[in-house]
Amino acid sequence: MNVTVFGIGYVGLVQAAVLADVGHNVCCVDVDQKKIDDLKNGIIPIFEPGLTDLVVDNFKKERLQFTTDAQTGVDHGELQFIAVGTPPDEDGSADLSYVLSVAGKIASIMDSPKIIINKSTVPVGTADRVRSHISDILSMRGLDISYDVVSNPEFLKEGSALEDCMRPERIIIGTDSEDAEFLMRELYEPFSRNRDKVMIMDVRSAEFTKYAANCMLATKISFMNEMANLAERLGVDIEEVRKGIGSDSRIGYHFIYPGCGYGGSCFPKDVQALERSAREIGYDAKILKAVEEVNHSQKEVLFHHVKSFYNGKSLAGKTFAVWGLAFKPNTDDMRQASSRVLLEALWQEGAKVQAYDPEAMEEAQRIYGIRDDMVLMGTKEAALHNADGLIIVTEWKSFRVPDFEKMLEELKDKVIFDGRNLYDPKRVEAHGLSYYGIGRGRSI
């Protein structure tokens, strides 16, 4: 099938590459000329395992093309995906201006029937707004061309985006049109071979499903973080509790890892946007507000642990090794990352950091520039050199098996603050190091 994807960010690029890989002809349109030129030269703007090979391979096979020309894109596809960003506006609501602008562009160019598919995360009712926007433009042009607006939210995770997209657990399609349903089923047929993954529902329910899924996951995390904070004060090890409750199949093991807070471009934004949507319709979404509030304070927990270890004294003159800057492993993304709250709090106190992250150091440099109190180190071991203590923020695989003897040698205050509970406290302490995780049964 001929497919066009507007907006070549995370979601758009991954979706385009995966659709091309199963044999569809995909035209990618973005307003950013440099991004398009880079993509043609095999330079991928994001770090995502496997993506470069997939894009380069399908580009060579001419199943993927890149352009800034909207006309080319609109002419190409019977299916037109909108995958542009919906960043929060000043009050946290989703800003729909990019979505509406792409819809308007499609309407002002199209001269044959189209299915317009919204992949971006958008509040309930957006498809209706897109539909009437297109209808206004077509009637201004004096044209009566048939079109459908479909909601098809994306559930991929950064770091495992290809796998999530190639082997989705479900494909949600919101439409009330049989023609659109037929074409969407055909598009996704290669992904539904083993079992039918497609779930058809009305458009508003599909839009809401995306928010409800992300808010449920964020709620699980904030709930566990609250349990961890209680555990810390009650002499309970939250890691034992996690295993204990996860074994109940009604609860499950997924997304109940306590830590130093959730980040990224999705959970913080989506919880906030749904809470604002609720407010707009006069509903007080108390759970969503609490999820956000707990996460906000959870991002400060590591800093509080450090402060308490030093009995509340100033941290001026101290140097900390920081392992992990990305908001989670396998990405270079630092949007809403817990590391940022920690770094900024340490700097505020006059402390220095020696940071290491396998992928996100360029991003840290881009965000913070060159500064005396942030030295980016080439390896995790180098970050320990002459530091007072180690703070772990992201659970990269390479941090899981550290050399505790080296830590003992290098860290002046012989202390580890672990924001992701990577180690067994007893094992670490057996090496002569002090260890503070999240909710490991001991307040400091």
Confirm or reject binding of residue 184 to ligand UGA (CB under 6 A): no
134 is known to lie in a ligand binding site: no
**154 vs 357, beta carbon nearer ligand UGA:** 154
- Rounded to whole angstroms, how far apart are CA atoms 273 and 279? 10
210 is known to lie in a ligand binding site: yes
Confirm or reject binding of residue 256 to ligand UGA (CB under 6 A): yes
312 is known to lie in a ligand binding site: no
**74 vs 217, beta carbon nearer ligand UGA:** 217
Contact indicator for 87, 95 with CB cutoff of 8 Å: yes
| CA proximity to 27, closest of 1, 51, 56 | 1
Site string for ligand UGA, 230-249 (x = CB under 6 A): --------------------
Contact indicator for 127, 207 with CB cutoff of 8 Å: yes
Tell me how far, at minimum, the Cβ of 246 lies from ligand UGA, in Å.
10
Q: Choose, by CB under 6 A, the member of 131, 157, 385, 414 that binds ligand UGA.
A: 157
Q: What distance lies between CA 324 and its chain's CA centroid? A: 16
- Rounded to whole angstroms, how far apart are CA atoms 323 and 393? 6
Confirm or reject binding of residue 155 to ligand UGA (CB under 6 A): yes
**77 vs 263, beta carbon nearer ligand UGA:** 263
Q: Which stretch binds ligand UGA (CB under 6 A): 17-25, 251-259, 313-321, 369-377?
A: 251-259
Tell me whether residue 105 is exposed, middle or buried, using C-beta atoms within 10 angstroms of its C-beta: 0 to 12, 13 to 18, 19 or more. buried
Q: Choose, by CB under 6 A, the member of 96, 187, 217, 322 that binds ligand UGA.
A: 217
Q: Which residues are catalytic?
A: 266
Q: Which stretch binds ligand UGA (CB under 6 A): 230-238, 257-265, 300-308, 423-431?
A: 257-265
Q: Which stretch binds ligand UGA (CB under 6 A): 14-22, 122-130, 259-267, 299-307?
A: 259-267
Instruction: Give the list of residues 6+ apart from residue 74 with CB closer than 8 angstroms, or none.
Output: 4, 80, 105, 106, 109, 110, 114
Tell me whether residue 375 is exposed, middle or buried, using C-beta atoms within 10 angstroms of its C-beta: 0 to 12, 13 to 18, 19 or more. middle
Confirm or reject binding of residue 156 to ligand UGA (CB under 6 A): yes
258 is known to lie in a ligand binding site: yes
195 is known to lie in a ligand binding site: no
Tell me how far, at minimum, the Cβ of 82 lies from ligand UGA, in Å.
15
Instruction: Give the list of residues 6+ apart from residue 293 with CB closer than 8 angstroms, or none.
Output: none
Confirm or reject binding of residue 259 to ligand UGA (CB under 6 A): yes
**129 vs 157, beta carbon nearer ligand UGA:** 157
- Rounded to whole angstroms, how far apart are CA atoms 255 and 159? 15
Q: Choose, by CB under 6 A, the member of 262, 320, 368, 404 that binds ligand UGA.
A: 262
Confirm or reject binding of residue 211 to ligand UGA (CB under 6 A): no
Number of residues binding to ligand UGA, judged by CB under 6 A: 20
Residues in region 104-143 near ligand UGA by CB under 6 A = 121
263 is known to lie in a ligand binding site: yes
**148 vs 270, beta carbon nearer ligand UGA:** 270
Q: Choose, by CB under 6 A, the member of 30, 48, 148, 158 that binds ligand UGA.
A: 158
Q: Choose, by CB under 6 A, the member of 264, 324, 358, 439 that binds ligand UGA.
A: 264
Tell me how far, at minimum, the Cβ of 322 lies from ligand UGA, in Å.
16
Q: Which stretch binds ligand UGA (CB under 6 A): 58-66, 84-92, 122-130, 155-163?
A: 155-163
- The amino acid at 210: K
**267 vs 417, beta carbon nearer ligand UGA:** 267
Confirm or reject binding of residue 327 to ligand UGA (CB under 6 A): yes
Tokens of 361: 């150091």
Contact indicator for 372, 379 with CB cutoff of 8 Å: no
40 is known to lie in a ligand binding site: no
8 is known to lie in a ligand binding site: no
b vs e for 274-299, b when ≥16 Cβ sit within 10 Å of the residue's Cβ? bbbbebeeeeebeebeebbebbeebb
82 is known to lie in a ligand binding site: no
Annotated binding site: 30, 35, 86, 121, 155-158, 210, 255-259, 263, 269, 328, 335
Residues of the shown chain interacting with ligand UGA in the complex, contacts defined by CB under 6 A: 121, 154-158, 214, 217, 221, 255-257, 259, 262-264, 266-267, 327-328
